[in-house]
Structure 1
Amino acid sequence: MHADLTIALDMMGGDYGPRSSIPAALAAVEKHPRLILLLCGNRTVLESALEKANALSHPRLIVKHCDEVVTNTCDPAQALRNKRNSSMRVALDLVKSGQAQACVSSGNTGALLSMAHYVLKMLPGIKRPALITSVPTEKKQPVYLLDLGANIQCDPETLLQFAIMGSIVAGAALKLDKPKVHLLNIGLEDIKGHDGIKQAARLMQGCSAINYQGYCEGSDIFSGKSDVIVCEGFVGNVALKTCEGIAKLIMFKFTKALKKHLFYRSLAFLLRPVIKKLYKRVNPDQYNGASLVGLRGIVVKSHGNASKKAFMAAIEEAAREVDRRIPDKIQAAFEEMAPIEETSVRS
């Protein structure tokens, strides 16, 4: 982690607000000694919570007072127009001004997308931002899935741009030169899918900037055959939340079965290291933090119901993105492609 890495946090967003964001911030600065957090929210509320935690005078927790909050039910357009002093907007403004290198929010997704797009603007050549995160697979390394809901419907060109950005994110995270990219579809055959998906597939096949491997199905998400899976936001959001639900169901059923009989409880004691390892592998909290890529700045969206552990994971994801210089790498990739595209247009 960089020295003096500064991240702005929307402390008031999400279902729990400071109840999860304050403990997460405290844990983050304790774990990472060079991390500075700008806590955006109501000063009275935040300082009261910090005082209870004996951290009111912590040198790396700096409160930035905001009068307003973007609620979960707030209309994104109204939030953009009327919530200029909200904790979400102030956190984004701190990134724009250079006072913070990234921001994290668990607040209203639509409002965050609108505000981030307006405040930070898009990188040159990119049409739309995309939400991307990693999910576990059968193999050691995860797979990166995008878009997760920033764009409900996408045209083929936008899906191609998502593939390029996803490849850059996965390449930096997994240390791969050419991450394997798949397009999520209802089948593997060329005839499957709607016209937009088929057109996107043809664009990806002809793009040298990515290592396109063809279609994959929903059942392939966890297989480890892909490094990047591209889809429209509606599909990605449903897929991600289904993944999280399955993980919770597995652990619920497993725990319930172990508690059912004395023999199983005795067996659970012996298998405790294996159970803990399994839980750590599938626990959705550790994968919390979807990055909004394509912007002139780093924005990480945490789950609205994020726990302390989950919100801390989002903070750490933001820190990793700063270290990996993701926006710079995306911009460089699209600048390299521009001359090629211009040449092909002239010919």
Structure 2
Amino acid sequence: MVIKKDPPWDLAAPARLDPPRSAYVHVPFCQHRCGYCNFSVLAGRDDLVDAYLDALEAELNRLVEPRTVDTLFIGGGTPTHFDSPALTRFLRLVGHWFPLSGGATEFSVEANPNDITQSKLDLLKQFGVDRISLGVQSFNANKLSTLERSHSPDEARRAIQLSAETIGNVSIDLIFATPGETPDVWRADLCDAVAMPLSHLSTYGLTFEKGTQFWNRLQKATIATVIEEDQLQMFRDAIAIPKAAGFEHYEVSNHAMPGRRCQHNMAYWRGVGWYAAGPGAASFVDGRREVNHRSTTTYIKRLLRGESPIAESETLTQEQLIRERVAFGLRMLAGIDLCEVGPLAVVDALLGKKFQMLIEIGMLARTGDRIGLTADGLFVSDSVLSEIL
């Protein structure tokens, strides 16, 4: 069991989890900050790369000893924005502190298509990277321009092909409901994607996050959202087209070929804990969530002064952990076994009435101890999950 039941169960008590088996490391550097991006990202500040690596080393030293993991995910930003010497130093560093266990493991690195070269892929493979996640977003030149992406459709295709030949396990992200986009444009993106040598596909509806350029432009009415009817059709196509090509729709936004689900993300959805390092990174260890400062410069300054990079921290109660594990677990199309969340009587006492209400309106379905989203619930999953939380 992930949640320990000794001492006796108490919903108000601090949550306790087994040591994590996953780790995430955030790389903040990018060539350009896209208008929709709300991540901890620095564009045009490659002068800070060495200082970042020094700070990251200082943060990882706080672990005292290496932590063996089953999944390691390097995200950003753009990890492949590093030049070869910096990437080598980075991979050595994270490989020392987060060594992969034996057996079935997963080492993922995010990348932008226009950063992909044969030499960089060879370097990643040399350090054990066995999965690459490309921020393609679209194969349509006009849509890429709207999204402020710096690669061309041909560069995306070349990066996928080269990554498949070298790494073998390739995932890409696609975005739908871009301003001005039609369902036909989105269907073409999906058809292009499933014709490529992919093992995994993530499809996300564009969100306008407060503080981004897109948010500001939306307020000024210089861009507009796609009408709801078209967004719904795009979501339907995001399910149907990959499915017809042999992909399994296993999570609200994620599709995988058989045996190629993202094991690292499964740790998030199951709420079993993970280590994290880098600016803005959020860890979840022994029931305690800690979030590093989002500002890369502040993150660097704090660590190089011998201070903690943590900006926020919270110890979850058993009740909070149950709610989060149910809510995020429901993102998986197979649903969740409530007995894996906690004692069934405790889970039902806490959420049983909420479950029943969502079942009665057709958003959830339950068979015995297993509960999951219905087809209707899938299309309004965010609202369903917020009810649980």
User: Higher strand share goes to which structure?
Assistant: 2
User: Higher helix share goes to which structure?
Assistant: 1
TM-score with structure 2 setting the length: 0.24
TM-score with structure 1 setting the length: 0.26
- Greater RCO, 1 or 2 (C-alpha within 8 Å, sep 6+): 1
